[in-house]
């Protein structure tokens, strides 16, 4: 009997995706457990062919699946809708999932999708396959939105959250095309991404919680077992936890650190967490267990902004946590959000001055930091009428291309300064450009003079060519960023440096 086959496609996001998407891999694992065949296509993978529409169609036709599942981002969703219109003539059912479809299922259905999965997809996707195999009625599936035979939109009751994450099989990372992600030995880390929790206990006004409006977590032992599995299968020794708030349940983290040493894993790892959830003791414990780097979402050092976005943190706590992290010997990556509509030029300067003050402690500063009013957030609801950006993702004039030119990819997303949602004044734009230039220098110059010279030459050539012939610049440099980063990294590690 022919096995039911599913092809997942990660929707276009406007920037390259460094690692295989974890969400699709979890759903694939559930389907494989059911006996299905699963493949995944990620057009934004680092080494995916440039003509991604043509390549996606080619791969789907070659695979001949029984079902196509598309994970969608709000950003660049028009590109994903275009892709769906190209897939539609193949006559294969198309379902969609992710934060955007969960929020706006009827919009997604109106663009050619046959069914929308609302919320977590692992259990729902199994029922959806049963439906397409004729074993279950659509009305009997929890957590979906679809059109009935009369064309009327039907929404079923929500599916309860998965409380015991340990019951889920480990994500099936083998569904991805390795050559899309790995070209040399420095790319091995890409398969070491891992998720220990879901959701976030915070209520920040700029963040969409979607289906993950509560905080759930795996047991430390379950996480350890996945690390062992990935380490053996992919020869990975460095892991990146992509949780939104890794250390929010401190007891679990302490137990995890104990288990890393008890099992002699000999790994290193990074994580993302909240400044308000760390202690000095915990940070030193994480360091001893192999943690190398922590990513903090500072967002702003202006007290008014911290209160208004409900960050749950003040300046004293920010400085204390950063000092603890530095004292523990951990590298620090930071995220800032620029362009809150109530902030003025002085607020932007205060943030930049803080970064300069702590710059020697910061390993990397997030580049794509211009405020985006995502649907489902308080920021969106509060300002959409005042600034007239309701449903901005459906406006073809909104340019949300993260890195159309190489110098923007390296330094900052200039397109979001010029094409802002909040009608920034010329003085605000001027300050944001100063921020962009500083972040570019900080992240790419480092302390290595040869690397600094090489990147400076490339950046200025990119700027010059993009002004004279922007289309040619994109063709010349797009896709070369990772190759140049690898090349510069190799030659600047020579013994005479």
Query: Would you give the distance in Å from CA 406 to the centre of its chain?
Result: 20
Structure pTM? 0.88
Q: What are the two backbone dihedrals, phi and then psi, of residue 271, each rounded to the nearest 5 degrees? A: -155, 165
Question: In the prediction, which pLDDT does 359 show?
Answer: 85
First to last CA, the chain: 62
Task: In whole angstroms, give the CA distance from residue 475 to residue 257.
Answer: 46
Q: What is the predicted pLDDT for the residue at 455?
A: 65
CB neighbour list of residue 430: distance below 8 Å, 6 or more residues apart: none
Which stretch of DSSP H or E encloses residue 482? helix 481-491
Q: Measuring CA to CA, how many Å separate 73 from each of 8, 11, 70, 81, 431?
A: 14, 6, 10, 11, 29
Low-confidence ranges of the chain (pLDDT < 50): 210-211, 402, 482, 486, 488-497
pLDDT value at residue 213: 61
Give me the pLDDT at residue 107, please.
Answer: 97
- The helix (H) or strand (E) run that includes residue 239 is strand 238-241
Q: How far apart are CA 231 and CA 225, in angstroms?
A: 10
Q: Return the biggest CA–CA distance within the chain.
A: 73
Residues in Cβ contact with 230 at an 8 Å cutoff, skipping those fewer than 6 apart: 170, 173, 191, 192, 194, 236, 239
Model pLDDT, residue 497? 27
* Angle of CA points 272, 275, 278, to nearest 5°: 90
Looking at residue 102, its pLDDT comes to 94
- Give all domains of the chain, ordered by start, each with its CATH number: 5-155 (3.40.50.280), 184-336 (3.20.20.70)
Closest CA to 98 of 75, 64, 79, 132: 75
Rg (CA), the chain: 23
Which pLDDT score, from 0 to 100, does residue 265 have? 95
Report helix angle 345-358 to 426-445, nearest 10: 10
For residues 155 and 143, give the distance between their C-alpha atoms in angstroms, rounded to a whole number.
8
pLDDT at 31: 98
The values of phi and psi at residue 337, to 5°, are: -110, 125
- Residue 114 half-sphere exposure, CB side, CA atoms within 13 Å? 15
Q: pLDDT value at position 485?
A: 54
Task: List all residues 6 or more positions away from 71 whose beta carbon is below 8 Å from its beta carbon.
Answer: 8, 9, 10, 11, 21, 23, 24, 96, 97, 98
């Amino acid at each position: 009997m022919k096995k039911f086959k599913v092809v997942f496609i990660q929707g276009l996001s406007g920037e390259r995706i460094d690692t295989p998407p974890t969400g699709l891999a979890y759903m694939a694992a559930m389907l494989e457990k059911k006996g299905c065949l699963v493949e995944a296509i990620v057009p934004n993978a680092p080494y995916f062919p440039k003509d991604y529409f043509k390549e996606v169609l080619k791969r789907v036709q070659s695979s001949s699946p029984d079902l196509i599942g598309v994970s969608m981002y709000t950003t660049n969703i028009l590109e994903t809708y275009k892709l769906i219109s190209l897939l539609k003539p193949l006559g294969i059912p198309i379902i969609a999932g992710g934060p955007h479809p969960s929020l706006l299922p009827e919009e997604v259905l109106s663009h050619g999708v046959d069914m929308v999965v609302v919320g977590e997809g692992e259990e729902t996707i199994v029922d959806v396959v049963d439906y397409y195999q004729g074993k279950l009625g659509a009305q009997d599936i929890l957590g979906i939105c679809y059109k009935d035979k009369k064309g009327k939109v039907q929404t079923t009751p929500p599916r309860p959250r998965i409380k015991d994450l340990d019951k889920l099989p480990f994500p099936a990372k083998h569904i991805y095309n390795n050559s899309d992600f790995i070209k040399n030995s420095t790319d091995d880390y890409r398969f070491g991404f891992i998720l220990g929790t879901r959701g976030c206990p915070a209520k920040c006004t700029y963040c969409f919680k979607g289906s993950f409006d509560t905080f759930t977590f795996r047991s430390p032992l379950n996480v350890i077992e996945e690390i062992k599995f990935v380490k053996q299968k992919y020869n990975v020794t460095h892991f990146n936890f992509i949780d939104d708030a890794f250390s929010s349940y401190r007891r679990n983290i302490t137990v995890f650190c104990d288990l890393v040493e008890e099992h002699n894993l000999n790994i290193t790892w990074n994580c993302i967490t909240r400044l308000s959830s760390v202690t000095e003791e915990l940070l030193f414990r994480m360091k001893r267990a192999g943690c190398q780097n922590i990513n903090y979402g500072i967002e702003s050092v202006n007290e008014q902004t911290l209160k208004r976005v409900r960050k749950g943190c003040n300046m004293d706590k920010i400085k204390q946590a950063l000092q603890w992290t530095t004292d523990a010997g951990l590298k620090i990556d930071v995220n800032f959000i620029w362009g809150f509509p109530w902030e003025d030029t002085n607020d932007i300067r205060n943030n930049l001055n803080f970064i300069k003050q702590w710059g020697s402690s910061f390993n990397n500063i997030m580049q794509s930091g211009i405020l985006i009013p995502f649907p489902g957030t308080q920021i969106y609801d509060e300002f959409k009428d005042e600034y007239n950006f309701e449903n901005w993702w459906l406006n073809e004039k909104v340019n949300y291309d993260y890195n159309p030119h190489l110098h923007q990819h390296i330094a900052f997303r200039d397109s979001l300064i010029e094409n802002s949602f909040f009608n920034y004044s010329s003085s605000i734009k001027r300050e944001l450009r100063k921020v962009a230039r500083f972040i570019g220098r900080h992240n790419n110059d480092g302390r290595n003079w040869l690397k600094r010279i090489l990147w400076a030459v490339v950046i200025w050539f990119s700027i010059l060519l993009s002004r004279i012939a922007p289309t040619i610049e994109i063709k010349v440099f797009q896709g070369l960023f990772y190759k140049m980063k690898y090349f510069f990294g190799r030659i600047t590690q020579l013994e005479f440096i």
